[in-house]
Amino acid sequence: MVALVDCNNFYASCERLFKPELVGKPIIVLSNNDGCVIARSNEAKDLGITMGAVFYMIEDEIKKHKINVFSSNYTLYGDMSARVMTNLARFSPEVEVYSIDECFLALTGIADLERYAHLIRNSVIQNTGIPVSVGIAPTKTLAKLANKMCKRTGGICVLDTPEKISEAVKDYPVEDLWGIGRAYARQLILLGIETAADLRNQPIGFVQDKLTIQGVRMWNELWGRSCIPVSDVLERKKGLCTSRAFSKLTSDMEELTEATASYANRLSLKLRKDQSCATVISVRLLTNRFKTDQPQAFPAITIPLTHAVNNTSEIVKVALAGLRAIYRKGFMYQKVEVTATGLIPETEVQLNMFSKWNGPVNDKLSKIMDQINGHYGRGTIRIATEGTSQKWAMKRNFLSPAYTTQWKDIIKTK
């Protein structure tokens, strides 16, 4: 049996956790630069606030209904996610973190699944304060389906018999199935297949023809035959990217240099946390494609490295060289992207006898920076090229404190 544990309205729940006076009140969380809605509490959903709604277009509704607004605080969300996943790891030796707010658990050998589901749910709520739903079924696809049904079953749904599974798939919309995208959903609905039961009752030949091998696996899983095992080993990422829109359009080379250096620094930190080294660095500038009255350009460059690296000094140096190569005057840029690809494990880096390499010195410097920033807070020490004013930094007018990762923001009690 497989359990899917999903955090309810995760971003909104993280914000509410440290402001209990907001329990029962509507909350929305905005995207980078406070652009649009990316998370909503149930109360905000009930008021008709839609996912992706543009913030400035719903400001009147926000004031009218006294909706609480927060800028996205990914540092807080990431830390709370780690706490939830650590708690869940106590309940199974096989744990697969599927996303920031979802986790699969293999529950082999558990006799009373309903009692165990309640134990998991209550433990997470008590130890982290984050409400979760627990769906349990013989396969991952059915566990996702069970989790979706938790809204009307009190936070727990166990599909452990053929009868329960048949009842669950009978009215379940086909477009909500795990692995069915919009294009496939439209195609299936046009063919009269509107529910999970309709799809399950199709012959295997039809599924192979219309939905390829992934659809065949999902079809088998709907019948309770596991085809997608719980993986407790994280696959190494094939690439990492750091990119955020600026708070304002800019053509200033100094501001672009500061932003690129800052993003390259963050990228190198991601690489070290992943214990990976990059063999290729790419840099890309983007204008705002929605500003049709302005000239558009999306210059990019890909730079192979003579040595695989993950230290800050060399990643920043290469990224800035890429920026200088692609920068074009006369354009107002909205965003810069710095991407690392060709990733290999730190332990498999090979030297190049034909080029000079300052890797050991730069690696040691990066580790010292990580230790200082880890102790005193991110940004305490950084590359000088990142600048101090950071006028380009993204807009976050409703940012909540870093309650769990900054000493100065820890909640004080009397």
Tell me what the pLDDT averaged over the chain comes to.
87
- The 3-state DSSP class for residue 176 equals helix
The CATH architecture that domain 239-386 belongs to is 2-Layer Sandwich (3.30)
334: which DSSP letter? E
Contact by Cβ (8 Å): 391, 255: yes
pLDDT > 80? residue 7: yes
pLDDT > 70? residue 301: yes
- CATH class of this structure's domain 2-149: alpha beta
Burial track 223-249 (b if 16+ CB lie within 10 A, e otherwise)? ebebebebeeeeeeeeebebbbbbbeb
Cβ count near 341 (within 10 Å): 16
User: What mean pLDDT do residues 308-325 have?
Assistant: 91
Cβ count near 336 (within 10 Å): 28
Spans of all domains in the chain: 2-149, 161-222, 239-386
At residue 299, the pLDDT reads 92
Residue range 279-291, pLDDT digits in tens: 999 999 999 888 8
Asked which of 45-59, 175-189, 231-245, 263-277 is least confident by mean pLDDT, the reply is 231-245
Identify which of 170, 155, 174 has the alpha carbon closest to the alpha carbon of residue 117.
155
- CATH class of this structure's domain 161-222: mainly alpha
Cβ count near 380 (within 10 Å): 11
At residue 234, the pLDDT reads 63
At residue 352, the pLDDT reads 66
User: What mean pLDDT do residues 47-75 have?
Assistant: 91
CA distances 42 to 9, 57, 85, 201, Å, are: 8, 20, 23, 34
Contact by Cβ (8 Å): 373, 381: yes
Rounded Cα distance between 268 and 10, Å, is 28
Res. 233 pLDDT band, cuts 50 70 90: low
Catalogue the E-assigned strands of 138-238: 156-158
Is pLDDT larger for residue 181 or for residue 119? 119
Give the alpha-carbon dihedral of 406, 408, 411, 414, to 10 degrees.
150
